[in-house]
Structure 1
């Protein structure tokens, strides 16, 4: 509390006695330490010609009703500062970063010089606008771009405690082509920011993944927002010629996807990738429905998988053993997914909805991956590609199969507790010798377990574990031999293409995980 004891005498003698004056005097005496009670503010009477002027001070000594002061680090006349002027008073991070990322990258259309700016909103006493209240939203966005020539460019935006700041910094002089490539990322960068800041959050990476790889070697984005209600989010996006990855953590859980771009020989045609992506998306939906996963987090997981796998560019490598036989390359690609190798996972934050049995948690964890090994040369080679998925989940449901609300009353304690543990895999093995396909096999297996525990008024009355196991093997070569014998393969007939499409559908993990 601010002490004003030195003003007491002057104030008390200059105010005409009245009931209101007695109240003012009492306030001043309390401010001088004559009362042990704390007060929210101190009222000081300043005498003037016939008018009592009241100034209200906060406990921190600042004027409570004074207009906030806006301070700019430099003259706010440029396009970025004008965007900041429309954003900095927004109450959410999405509002404070609105169009700001694109404005920073748009600068590169005309200049490659470094830039920084900040705007601060503070009280008349100099305290930041948010410092006297509960912590407000805080956000940081960073884009780091490496050029093919080795120049590093950092673009940063930060909002915290009443200050919005931005900067761009380049480690060297940028060429016109580099500035143009950076400016072309403007819309994609802003869409990524807007998507992550939306509710529910979304992933829109299409503008970033399509960076000009002939000029830029890598693009990395970091996004972190806290104290912004339900929009709290942390995300990392990393894109380069050998690897593309996305990780997101929010109040619902965590998702990660890493795509290995190093072996372009295994990439299939656009049609093959589209078919594989559609199959995986159906598998993801099936797993989420079966395990009662979070819909918003799964939606971002599916967006990441689709966007990172839709367009790889042009392959620069050949599958081993297929260099001199285009029809053989077609058949080998048909027996592969057409996707780059990847690892992906999604995990919901665990909850304990039953206050009487806290150990019974609602969980959802799902992992899926593809790995490929290739060996050989132009005439001889082996290829082994394995797809794998694993689902582990648990949840409560009503005895009728719907949502259940559990509390400490026995009347609410009638429910089923479901635990799921599913595992599935698919492996293709291909062998080529002297330009001839001599082996092509497909092996699939799945192991599934569902445990259902039924409770009636808190008493376990049934506990059933239902495991299922399946396996299947196919000789893919036998499906192709009739066509190879009459040389339809070399003629690239419709029959040949249909056979390859059918085989491609066989090797994919389907929506049931097998």
Structure 2
């Protein structure tokens, strides 16, 4: 007979789940033999509540409960960067891991100017397993590489993996005080770029990096990557020097690429002209995204990148447009007929999807490209200018027959009531200008747009209509005829309000129309 006593009753034999550090198997065998010898009855006692405290159990991550994490530092952990890392390592997001870390590293470099490396990893007190702190297995890598005017390269790296953090800063040579100050001034911009991409949803904040001190620094390259984080994976690269700027971003939502050619400052208009052109392009982007049902979050990043890369190119080098070197009036009129932006190319492509199981060939997609290219020919006394702006939209999407939203499509015919819309749009705006011996000879504007919309309507999975709707427009404008009367009346020479109003009107006309 076997009897179970109460928790507080006297016991004859108490089973204690302790493991011998010498020979746990032998000790267990001894306990079993002792129990077998008890006859005719055996009393087994469940340990009391006070005994339970001594039991060692494991967390779902495989660590012992009640054990404090152990921080393993690569070097002395008393400096400001290490203190920041100690506060960040246990955070559960990339934003938390990298919070303030990039700026802290650059601030330290401004003070010391020396190379630096630090890392912290985390384990349990027993050393049996990692504590499992951190951003759910995601791996984050950040890099900032700068090259000074004197040719010194400074490389900065931040990393997050398995709940640990690492940072380093390495210089290929000694920096002057002005170069070190210029690098330190990137502190806020570097951290803002990190914080933006680490946010949910991610954002672009490159303005602090784009406006670096060009008198001391020759180039800046920024890289950001998060992998192993499912739909939150993202990678971004930004590079800038005196001649060009480039940006690429890839995420679960899609990809975007922007390139700006800043090598010819003669194209740069006034701040007001650039602002007007940027605002017009943002309207084009919004129009294309609405028409093609694009991803709003990805478009927001695209627009931020376009704005930040074009709003300020720095100090122009003094070049003038061909044929306008000795005439402020010609310089004003020619500039008004251009966007004022540096030449660029930009594209955004959403990740495609096939939401209809009954027709997997029907793809939801969105792709938009826009570009500007300019040709300058001639001398200071005479010249020709041509500028071409182009845009192209290709998109397709499903739309419910009722309500206009996205339909819920299944393998049931009852769900197959929708429009499948395919779009192919393009637009162009071209300016041609010719000058000779201080005279504006001709100035023309040619614009065209083409829209092609195909709408296939299904009811209970049966195609009931398939309509293709093309729409083409074009126009040509003589810009010279708009300005010539003011030139003849000397309003241009006197730079009157009427002349400035005419220039603003011309500038608004040459901007790209909705595709």
Is the TM value for this pair above 0.5? Answer: yes
**Aligned equivalent of 1:413:** 416
Asked whether 1:444 is paired with 2:458, we answer: no
Aligned counterpart in structure 1 of residue 371 of structure 2, from 350, 369, 372: 369
Larger Rg over CA atoms: 2
- Are 2:232 and 1:231 equivalent residues in the alignment? yes
| 1:110 partner SS | helix
Query: 2:257 corresponds to which residue?
Result: 256
Alpha-carbon distance between aligned partners in 1 of 2:145 and 2:393, rounded to the nearest angstrom: 35
**Within 5 Å, which residues of 2 pair with 1:374-385?**
374-385=376-387
Aligned to 1:32: none
User: Can you give the 5+ residue segments of structure 1 that lack an aligned partner in the other structure?
Assistant: 20-49
8 Å CA contact retained: 1:128, 1:162: no
Deviation at 1:55, TM superposition (A): 4.5
Supply the distance in 2 between the matched residues of 1:470 and 1:260 (Cα, whole angstroms).
30
TM-score (norm 2): 0.89
Aligned-pair CA distance for 1:129? 2.3
Give the distance between the partners of 2:504 and 2:62, measured in 1 at CA: 76
Q: Within 5 Å, give how 1:389-400 maps onto structure 2.
A: 389-400=391-402
Change (3 A) 1:423 1:16: same
Task: Give 1:274-423 correspondences, 5 Å limit.
Answer: 274-316=275-317, 317-400=319-402, 401-423=404-426
Segments of 5+ residues of structure 2 without an aligned counterpart are 1-20, 37-50
Match in the other structure for 2:197? 196
Residue matched to 2:482: 479
Aligned pair count? 481
Distance 2:235 2:247 in 1: 11
Query: Deviation digits for residues 320-373 of structure 1, max 9, x if unmatched?
Result: 010000110000000000000000000000011111111101000000000001
Q: Structure 1 CA distance, aligned partners of 2:54 and 2:483?
A: 96
Offset, 1:123: 3.3
Q: Distance in 2 between matches of 1:59 and 1:106?
A: 39
2:503 to 479, 500, 513: 500
1:241 positional shift = 1.0
Q: Distance in 2 between matches of 1:191 and 1:450?
A: 41
Matches of 1:282 and 1:124 in 2, distance apart? Answer: 58
For 2:434 and 2:135, locate their aligned partners in 1 and report how far apart those are by CA, in whole Å: 66
Q: Identify the residue that residue 465 of structure 1 maps to in structure 2.
A: 468
Instruction: After superposition, give the CA deviation of every residue in 1:366-417 in whole Å (9 maximum; x if it has no partner).
Output: 0000000101111011111000000000000011322211111111100000
Q: Is the 8 A contact 1:61 1:125 kept in 2?
A: no
Q: Deviations over 1:18-44 (max 9, x none)?
A: 79xxxxxxxxxxxxxxxxxxxxxxxxx
Cα distance, 1:468–1:12 mapped onto 2, change above 3 Å: same
How far, CA to CA, are the matches of 1:59 and 1:267 in structure 2?
60
Partner of 1:278: helix, strand, or coil?
A: helix
Query: Could you tell me which residue of structure 2 aligns to residue 434 of structure 1?
Result: 437
Q: CA, structure 1 residues 59+272, in 2 after alignment: closer, same or farther (shift >3 Å)?
A: closer
- For the Cα contact (< 8 Å) 2:376–2:386, is it kept in 1? yes
Q: Provide the rounded CA distance (Å) in 2 between the counterparts of 1:486 and 1:6.
A: 109
Structure 1 residue 182 displacement after superposition: 1.0
